[in-house]
């Protein structure tokens, strides 16, 4: 019943992009662009899944999972994604940390 929020990642190794961010006030097209980026990322070669959550204060963490560093580089170079990143820096985020990491081990638990 809770499976849909978890990314169905394969056995490690694979890669993770950890994006911790604080939203700025107002929407200014954010919701539409965020939905579009999820759709677009899912079409990229090497995309393995995404997990995302945000609390009422606007602090969010999104982790996307990728098969390789090359897949992350190709996504970073995507033109539509580049425009979204530009708007993110100028309008949507008060701050962020983006970390690129290689997943070495993974453990899972599910009930129900």
| Residue 95 lies near its own copies (rule: CB under 8 A) | yes
Contacting residue, 1, 11, 77, 79, with its own copies by CB under 8 A: 1
Residue 61 CB contacts under 8 Å (≥ 6 apart), including other chains? 18, 19, 20, 21, 52, 53, 54
Which region among 26-34, 37-45, 87-95 touches its own copies (by CB under 8 A)? Answer: 87-95
Contacting residue, 36, 59, 67, 74, with its own copies by CB under 8 A: 59
* Cα radius of gyration rounded to whole Å, the chain: 14
Query: Residue 85: in which H helix or E strand, if any?
Result: helix 79-87
Residues that bind its own copies in the complex, under the rule CB under 8 A: 1-3, 5-7, 9, 12, 16, 18, 20, 22, 24, 51-56, 59-61, 63, 89, 93-112
């Amino acid at each position: 019943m809770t499976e849909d929020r978890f990314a169905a990642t394969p056995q490690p190794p694979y890669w993770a992009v950890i994006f911790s961010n604080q939203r700025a006030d107002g929407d200014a097209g954010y919701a539409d662009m965020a939905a579009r980026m999820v759709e677009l990322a899912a079409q990229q070669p090497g995309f393995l899944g995404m997990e995302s959550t945000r609390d009422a204060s606007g602090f969010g963490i999104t982790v996307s999972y990728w098969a390789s560093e090359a897949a992350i580089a190709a996504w970073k170079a995507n033109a539509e994604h580049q425009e979204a990143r530009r708007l993110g820096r100028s309008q949507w985020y008060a701050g962020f940390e983006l970390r690129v990491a290689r997943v070495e081990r993974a453990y899972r638990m599910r009930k129900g």
